[in-house]
Structure 1
Amino acid sequence: MKVFGIGLNKTGTTTLGQSLEILGFENHVSCNGRLVKALTKNDYSSIYETAEINNNFEDWPWPLVYKKMYKKYPDAKFVLTVRESPEIWYNSLCKHAERTGPKKIRKRIYGYYMPHYRKREHISFYERHNQAVVDFFAQNAPENLIVVCWEKGQNWKELCNLLNKPVPEVEFPFLNKATDKTNEVKKAKVIHNSIKRLVFSDRGAIEKLSLRFLSR
């Protein structure tokens, strides 16, 4: 069985990947910039090759290719991780960007190197993605999808019910909590000026790429 995490980044994808490893899905693939780059060129060969030899997927590019993965693996299970609110997700996205700085992968997916000052665009992307996922599986295979929010206390029970696995006798691995990274926020001061430059130089960027992915 294959399990695809198809929530956007900063929705608890790392937690999902680790919990699936504990449940025995040890061939784990997380964020892969090379695959995202291939996707922007409509090259799916490396994505299919990666999917074929693994069974635990989360982060990019998997939220962008869930329809193709369902078509290829109709018995696979899909987990849509979400946050308590779009605003919480957006704030987490901004904090993560402050720690890591401008990234090409962010530009390829969201249309901008940094999310700052682009709240409306990013929240729109988040909401449209989540709704598109729910609608797609409601029409095709509702039993193959669960929507989970770790912040609401959902964990082993929901995941194990989906996968028909017994609940393990270990603590659920909540990872990448913001409180564990407060010291890293200091890095934001170092990259503040570069953020502003990139954000405002990006004023003319459009969301064609985002819309194209969401329509697949």
Structure 2
Amino acid sequence: MLRVIGAGYPRTGTLSMKAALERLGFGPCHHMFEVMSRPEQSALWSLTPGEGEASWDRLYEGYESAVDWPTGYFWEEVSQAYPDAKILLTVRDARRWYKSASETIFQSARMLDAVDGEEHGGAGQEDEAGATTTAHLRRLHETLLSTMWRGAFGVGADEVPDEATAVAAFERHIEYVRSRVPEDRLLVFEAAQGWEPLCDFLGVPVPEDEPFPHLNESEDLKERLGNVMRGGRPY
């Protein structure tokens, strides 16, 4: 059962937050990489999230927290399913967010549209694994990613939204979350703030002599995405 629900957009320090939450005892933490790299997750999230076989309990089975999309996109429905969970809204400067997103997640969505099973060389088990990964990624692109991209930015998942449209959507989302969640249930957080506000919000001690994790550098994310596209694990 989820105890922490991340309502922030991707590229707002979500991978760092995943590591931080797991360090504080709120793991495993769900992240978009789970969806892209775990066949059972890919299959479930390709269905209609929150309904039937893809009920929230099934989607988050085994997880105690969740950040990044798809959770951040469906945060309101998820928060209604887990009314005792804390809501964590990760934020950053909107234009810096757009630049980062343009260089990573927007490009990766376009790459998924062009994935071809022939890109996976070799033979035998590796080739079969690559073909399986390709099928999962294509299905995710056609269902989950298309739904989120059109819902958030008004464009298909194979398109990069222009800066004005994306920034407006980003800022609108932040204000909407703020307006919908009671103050005692919500933390608006930037990674530069470090451990203290997060630990205070969650009611846990601050780790001693341990810096707050900063894992989501753009080049690091590109490498992780590349691993997933090649049929591997992102970690």
TM-score exceeds 0.5: yes
Q: 2:104–2:221: 8 Å Cα contact kept in structure 1?
A: no
Q: 1:14 to 1:71 in 2, by over 3 A?
A: same
Q: How does 1:82-101 map to 2 (within 5 A)?
A: 82-83=91-92, 85-97=93-105, 100=108
Counterpart check, 1:122 vs 2:130: no
> Please, what is the CA RMSD of the aligned residues?
2.8
Q: How does 1:81-160 map to 2 (within 5 A)?
A: 81-83=90-92, 85-97=93-105, 100=108, 102=110, 103=112, 104=141, 106-111=145-150, 112-114=156-158, 116=160, 118-137=162-181, 141-150=182-191, 153-160=192-199
Q: 1:29–1:56: 8 Å Cα contact kept in structure 2?
A: yes
Look up the match of 1:48: 57
3-state SS of paired residue (1:80): strand
3-state SS of paired residue (1:45): coil
CA distance in 1, matches of 2:197, 2:91: 14
Q: 1:114 to 1:97 in 2, by over 3 A?
A: farther
Q: How does 1:137-216 map to 2 (within 5 A)?
A: 137=181, 141-150=182-191, 153-169=192-208, 170-178=210-218, 180-181=219-220
TM-score, structure 2 as length reference: 0.66
3-state SS of paired residue (2:83): coil
Aligned pair partner of 1:71 in 76, 80, 88 = 80
List runs of 5+ in structure 2 lacking aligned partners. 37-41, 113-140, 151-155, 227-235
* 2:102 partner letter: C
Q: 1:44 to 1:131 in 2, by over 3 A?
A: farther
Q: 1:5–1:16: 8 Å Cα contact kept in structure 2?
A: no
Q: 2:89–2:187: 8 Å Cα contact kept in structure 1?
A: yes
Q: 2:5–2:71: 8 Å Cα contact kept in structure 1?
A: yes
1:146 positional shift: 0.5
* 2:94 partner letter: P
3-state SS of paired residue (1:63): coil
List runs of 5+ in structure 1 lacking aligned partners. 188-216
TM-score, structure 1 as length reference: 0.71
* 1:96 partner letter: T
CA distance in 2, matches of 1:65, 1:72: 11
3-state SS of paired residue (2:87): strand
Q: 1:68 to 1:100 in 2, by over 3 A?
A: closer
1:74 positional shift: 1.8
Total equivalences in the alignment: 178
Q: 1:73 to 1:97 in 2, by over 3 A?
A: closer
CA distance in 2, matches of 1:38, 1:182: 26
Q: 1:129 to 1:36 in 2, by over 3 A?
A: farther
Aligned pair partner of 1:59 in 61, 68, 71 = 68
* 1:28 partner letter: C
Q: 1:28–1:57: 8 Å Cα contact kept in structure 2?
A: yes
